[in-house]
Structure 1
């Protein structure tokens, strides 16, 4: 008999009774402080998820993803740029000790050391204190990581030529015919490495928007100009003339292929 707790019955005197609190107490013992999982709790979760989903869908409709033109492996002048959360690594690869002959160190070894430090963090800092200033190892690693990420991300975004980046990835439409024999047999193997597969520019200028005359194109291809080499020893006069006529006909169009007004 226990006072205030009623009477406890034991069916077999050989069974040992343990005096300890119940681990899983029924929620009915706490009226007003709990709720049933179905339907109360799940209904609130679904309502919250629906609000966030609708908000996210509205955001994607109002601000579509910024798409660039189709990837062109022949465009050697294109400078790829990672998303903002990888800008720090993009910036690190620009430094002397992480680029050129040290590219393997910057791209693999250095990030590997950083991730290994995160994996080993529980063993590197075994302190049981919860205050950050009483855990110097973990706090120091965190502050150093945040400082490096912040500085390299800021430096990469601050000194990057964003106008050039936007221009080189801009989606343009033209009357370029990639099935034309002039393109497949001559231009693709001689011009696209500098001017891009769409001839909209890369290391070389944009040929679609240049509005060149056949005679001018023929002179450029024959004699070269600036960094552009001469092709008079590579292409025949007839081939150069075909390229000139092909390039001179290039013009910008809309999505439906109609020429844009100049």
Structure 2
């Protein structure tokens, strides 16, 4: 028995949503790894971020700051104050991932 068009559309939307959720979870996991392990020095050394279990006190508390992704990309790429730039040591993909992670979890 063929599916009705509305059911077909619903099935496609559900599959698309599941795929988007999987992609978002993978990007969050990658960003968390950059925050905790891949950036050298580690972001967690200087920044507090509850979701990462980070309690650094040199840089701003990211849970209070709640930066958007563009602000994180700019800070990580170019550095801010005593924070060094990471554009030469992290890939664009890593920078986008950590920006997505921080902007998604800060203050939550």
With the shorter chain as reference, the TM-score category is 0.5 to 0.7
Structure number with higher relative contact order (C-alpha < 8 Å, ≥ 6 residues apart): 2
Verify: 1:210 aligned to 2:36, yes or no. Answer: no
| Residues 161-217 of structure 1: CA deviation (Å, up to 9, x unaligned) | xxxxxxxxxxxxxxxxxx923213x11122111114534541111112212111111
Q: Which moved more, 1:223-232 or 1:198-207?
A: 198-207
Any residues of structure 2 matched to 1:133-152 within 5 Å, and which? none
- Give 1:193's aligned residue: 45
Which protein has the larger Cα radius of gyration, Structure 1 or Structure 2? 1
CA distance in 2: counterparts of 1:251 and 1:240, whole angstroms: 16
Would the aligned equivalents of 2:78 and 2:85 in 1 still touch at CA under 8 Å? yes
Q: Tell me what 1:222 maps to.
A: 77
Structure 1 Cα separation of the partners of residues 75 and 54 of structure 2:
15
The answer to whether the 8 Å contact 2:47/2:54 transfers is yes
Structure 1 unaligned regions, length at least 5: 1-178, 254-262
The answer on whether the counterparts of 1:221 and 1:232 sit within 8 Å (CA) in structure 2 is: yes
For 1:57-96, list aligned pairs within 5 A.
none
After the TM superposition, list the runs of 4 or more consecutive aligned residues in structure 1 that deviate by more than 4 angstroms: none
TM-align CA RMSD = 2.0
Number of corresponding residues: 74
Q: Distance in 2 between matches of 1:183 and 1:194?
A: 15
Change (3 A) 1:224 1:182: same
Whether the 8 Å contact between 1:200 and 1:207 is mirrored in structure 2 is no
| Structure 2 unaligned regions, length at least 5 | 1-27
